[in-house]
Amino acid sequence: MKKLNSILAVAIFSLIMVSCGNNNESKRSGGAMSSNVAEKVYVAPGEHDEYYAFLSGGYSGNLTVYGLPSGRMLKEIPVFSQFPTNGYGYSEETTPMLETSFGFIPWGDAHHPDISQTNGELDGRWVFINENNTPRIARISLEYFETEEIIEIPHSAGNHSSSFVTENTEYVVAGTRFSVPYPQEDIAIDQMKGNFKGPLTFIAVDENGGMSIDFQLKMPGFNYDLSHPGRGDSHGWFFFTTYNTEEAHTLQEVNASQNDKDFIAAVNWKKIQEYVRNGGGEEIDANYAHNVFNHSTQTATTTMMNKVLTVDPRDVEGAVFFMPTPKSPHGCDVDPSGEYIIGNGKLSTDLTIHSFSKMLKAIENKDFDGDAYGIPVLNFDATLAGVVKDGGLGPLHTEFDDKGNAYTTFFISSEVVKWKLGTWEVLDRQPSFYSVGHNMIPGGNSRKPDGKYMVSLNKITKDRYLPTGPELEHSAQLYDISGEKMELLLDFPTHGEPHYAAGIHADKIKANSKKIYRLDENKHEHATLNESETRVERNGNEVHVYMTMVRSHFAPDNIEGIKVGDKVYFHVTNLEQDFDVPHGFAMIGANNSELLIMPGQTKTTTWEPTKVGVWPFYCTDFCSALHQEMQGYIRVSPKGSSQELKWSLD
């Protein structure tokens, strides 16, 4: 009977979704843009946007960079997916970036970008982003706009409540959404309850950005959905929403929606850090890859790690508590002051707000309502600060401005809702097109948000743009939030499925952005820094071509003596030192991507010729007036031919 009720409830939700869609249709017709609105998003040709926005690519595995308020896409940064556009994940230098304990993985599901912080403010050094499928965390440099480091998270599955950073980037966290045996073992799935765990991993970040796993917190086998750090007074704590506290292992859409309340886990990481530093925790076997891209050698290396420190939360007194939170909360957001912890109960109309100071008091008074696997559950009323009533249907995420307001997305009723912190009163609502997932305000997850614009990241696009067949890009909307009421300014398509974004004022980044790779700092093992050093070397059936490129020729551009069955390594260096003068390298029949090589860079691709003949290669980037002439030939002789190696550029 219970099951039937739930199925009915889901059916009703579906109906609501459909009817909401119709409502939105009518609201939309009134949305003609006034010229005033157009001016607000108009960035004149040659002018720069005021903000950078980093949008996750979801199943594209990458990170896209947008300018706000124009909504123009500036770049796609490859992170967890191969990127034939520039050779990332194909070149010899970058394939180690995609190594894992499962071997080479060409793809990822990138979710939650978060910018590094100092004293609770965005500092613009790095963006971190999590891979949900094969749990990993990446760090992207905001000088080079390149992925510099990827660390795999052992013992985790569904790396979703990740990659959020603490106030001084002490840690980036990686939670577990799909609880699993810890460590993995061969057991019956229906033995899940009590046997599976949901480890929460705390990755320490050093001053150069280097990541290392400090400890894993062995939490009960709930689903840890999202998280955010405390700030201000609550700095030192981390908060995670959970769902499926039922620990259901099948038909979760019903079976994981039975408990009226799940939990927000409050983790005092400072306490655990101290415990670990004093020798606490247990080192257990693990198997995970740590991939680091070295800018000096322009080459990535993989180090396989085999130990991780695990901490049982029950062993650290006063470190972990559960706060009951209604209706399978999704987003877990902390306001700029650090006092309010918002649980976005995705199967309800309400938001539950916990108070950090009340939480401390409840802990002090031992105001517990039993425990879950030995972890104290705090009394619901004791931590409750307030409830935002009837905000909408299906709240997912909340961001904040600098004036004490919060902005929550409602997936089912497809709208963004502005409400007041402290009074919990709803101030404004605007439709989103359609079914908004996450929203983003630049700095909205720091002590100092920039309350000028808000972006909503929508899950359903339908008719917002010219039709392009059944498969569509997702859509984002930009709102002006500087006034009393939110004002919809702009629609723009996004790439992949952005699950979250991070925005920052352009002034914090743009002066640091590099223009070239310096040749005099190029320590690549196979770099050729001068045309006079270009050469071809044979080592058995391996042939190494040390090649340079400069407007508008390759050196060498004629090579003979390659034979069928050889494996040819092209180590290609771009000798330019001028801003934005890339050259490309493409070899006919190479079972690999091209290379896009920026000034001062060296990249390597391989080619295994299978056919006798004279085969051309060419520059793929229209680099100069003589770009079409930037080409060369390789003569391939039969296997066993006595043709000597020779090369030239005349």
Partner 1 sequence: MKKSGILMIVGSALLLGLFYFPLWNITLGAPQYPEPLGMDIYISGIEGKSEFDIQNIDGLNHYIGMKKIPKPEEMWEFNIFPLVIGGMAALGILLGILGFFKKISPHWFFGWFVLMLVLGVLGMYDFNIWLLDYGTDLDPKAIIKLTDADGNPISYKPPLFGSQKILNFTAHSYPRLGAWLMFAGMFLTLFAWWVGKRSVRPKSNL
CB nearer to partner 1: pick between 520 and 644 = 520
Residue 203 near partner 1 by CB under 8 A:
no
The structure tokens 């500092």 sit at 123
CB of 520 to partner 1, least distance (A): 10
Q: To 5 degrees, how large is the angle CA 433–CA 435–CA 440?
A: 80
CB of 519 to Cu ion, least distance (A): 17
Site for partner 1 (CB under 8 A): which residue of 277, 578, 610, 639?
578
CB nearer to partner 1: pick between 1 and 625 = 625
Secondary structure letter of residue 411 according to DSSP: T
Segment 62 to 101, residues that bind partner 1, using CB under 8 A: none
What is 555-610 written as a DSSP string? ES-EEEEEETT-EEEEEEEE---STT--EEEEETT-SS--EEE-TT-EEEEEE---
Site for partner 1 (CB under 8 A): which residue of 101, 337, 577, 620?
577
Helix (H) or strand (E) holding 5: helix 2-28
What is the spatial order of strands in the sheet that 405-410 belongs to?
Answer: 395-400, 405-410, 415-420, 426-431
CA distance 336 to 401: 8
CB of 49 to partner 1, least distance (A): 17
CB of 578 to partner 1, least distance (A): 5
- Identify which range of 364-372, 428-436, 571-579, 586-594 contacts partner 1 by CB under 8 A: 571-579
x/- site string to partner 1, residues 485 to 524, per CB under 8 A? -------------------------------x--------
Residue 168 near partner 1 by CB under 8 A:
no
CB nearer to partner 1: pick between 577 and 620 = 577
Q: Are 197 and 216 in contact (CB under 8 A)?
A: no
Site for partner 1 (CB under 8 A): which residue of 625, 642, 644, 650?
625
- Identify which range of 86-94, 575-583, 589-597, 636-644 contacts partner 1 by CB under 8 A: 575-583
β-partners of residue 116 are none
626 binds, among partner 1, Cu ion, none (CB under 5 to 8 A by kind): partner 1
583 binds, among Cu ion, partner 1, none (CB under 5 to 8 A by kind): Cu ion
CA distance 481 to 492: 18
Q: Pairing between strand 542-550 and 567-574?
A: parallel
Site for partner 1 (CB under 8 A): which residue of 576, 585, 595, 601?
576
Helix (H) or strand (E) holding 36: helix 35-41
323 binds, among partner 1, Cu ion, none (CB under 5 to 8 A by kind): none
CB nearer to partner 1: pick between 46 and 279 = 46
- Identify which range of 84-92, 235-243, 345-353, 570-578 contacts partner 1 by CB under 8 A: 570-578
CB nearer to partner 1: pick between 175 and 600 = 600
Identify which of 93, 85, 86 has the alpha carbon closest to the alpha carbon of residue 603. 93
Site for Cu ion (CB under 5 A): which residue of 53, 142, 292, 630?
630
16 binds, among partner 1, Cu ion, none (CB under 5 to 8 A by kind): none
Segment 564 to 623, residues that bind Cu ion, using CB under 5 A: 583, 619, 623
Residue 626 near partner 1 by CB under 8 A:
yes
Segment 261 to 290, residues that bind partner 1, using CB under 8 A: none
* Six token digits for residue 168: 């001084």
- Identify which range of 269-277, 370-378, 420-428, 623-631 contacts partner 1 by CB under 8 A: 623-631
- Identify which range of 288-296, 381-389, 576-584, 639-647 contacts partner 1 by CB under 8 A: 576-584
CB nearer to partner 1: pick between 15 and 626 = 626
Helices (H) and strands (E) in the chain, counts: 6, 46
* Sequence-separated (6 or more) residues with CB below 8 Å from residue 470: none
CA distance 440 to 634: 52
74 binds, among partner 1, Cu ion, none (CB under 5 to 8 A by kind): none
CB of 552 to Cu ion, least distance (A): 6
CB nearer to Cu ion: pick between 173 and 619 = 619
For CA atoms 32, 36, 40, 44, the dihedral sign is positive
Q: How many CA atoms lie within 13 A of 265 on its CB side?
A: 32
Q: Is 580 helix (H, G, I), strand (E, B) or coil?
A: coil
Q: Are 59 and 471 in contact (CB under 8 A)?
A: no
619 binds, among Cu ion, partner 1, none (CB under 5 to 8 A by kind): Cu ion
CA distance 54 to 64: 6
CA distance 616 to 621: 16
Segment 529 to 568, residues that bind partner 1, using CB under 8 A: 550-551
CB nearer to partner 1: pick between 309 and 529 = 529
Q: How far is CA 482 from the centre of its chain?
A: 28
Q: Pairing between strand 558-563 and 631-637?
A: parallel
3-state helix, strand, coil in the chain (%, to 5): 15, 45, 45
CB of 574 to partner 1, least distance (A): 12
Q: Site size for partner 1, by CB under 8 A?
A: 10
CB of 532 to partner 1, least distance (A): 16
CB of 579 to partner 1, least distance (A): 8
CB of 551 to partner 1, least distance (A): 6
Identify which of 298, 218, 322, 344 has the alpha carbon closest to the alpha carbon of residue 519. 298
The residue length of the chain stands at 650
Q: Are 223 and 242 in contact (CB under 8 A)?
A: yes
Q: Site size for Cu ion, by CB under 5 A?
A: 4
- Identify which range of 157-165, 371-379, 583-591, 622-630 contacts partner 1 by CB under 8 A: 622-630
401 binds, among partner 1, Cu ion, none (CB under 5 to 8 A by kind): none
Q: Are 82 and 104 in contact (CB under 8 A)?
A: no
Q: Is 364 helix (H, G, I), strand (E, B) or coil?
A: helix
* Sequence-separated (6 or more) residues with CB below 8 Å from residue 78: 61, 62, 85, 86, 88, 89, 147
Which residues in this chain contact Cu ion in the complex, by CB under 5 A?
583, 619, 623, 630
Which residues in this chain contact partner 1 in the complex, by CB under 8 A?
516, 550-551, 576-579, 624-626
